[in-house]
Structure 1
Amino acid sequence: DDVSLSIYDVSGRRIRSFVTGDLCSGALLWRAEDDGGRRVKSGIYFVRLKVGESTVTKKLVLLE
């Protein structure tokens, strides 16, 4: 199945996109940077994982 994992800010803007395509199981580390490599601020973010037709969204609180 195709897999994608993205992080969004509270306004719904995509901050970081990690993976598209096939992916093996494992862990992923987010260094609190956007797609341009800039550090993001403390706050609330949402992590969205899509696998095939299934989607899971979880809230993430980033504290510096």
Structure 2
Amino acid sequence: SVEIYDITGARVTNLINKNLTAGFYSLVWDGRDQTGKQVASGTYFYRLTDASGSQTMRMTLLK
């Protein structure tokens, strides 16, 4: 899965929530939350989770 969190740790949206076969993938976040509302510019975190564990990285959203 790939989830987006705001600076307070609140989950903003879930971009992928399914099993994928091994390989290279790319995805684009449109800057919207789970309800479709545009979020503010700022620092966000994305967490990639697979069967072996998870990794969290920081990103900056600029509008």
Q: TM-score, normalising length from structure 2?
A: 0.87
Structure 1 segments (4+ residues) deviating >3 Å = none
Alpha-carbon RMSD: 1.1
How many equivalent residue pairs? 61
Q: Which SS does the other structure have where 2:17 is aligned?
A: strand
Whichever structure has more strand as a proportion of its residues is 1
Choose from 13, 24, 49 the match for 1:16: 13
Provide the identity percentage: 34
List alignment gaps of at least 5 residues for structure 2: none
1:43 is the counterpart of 2:42: yes
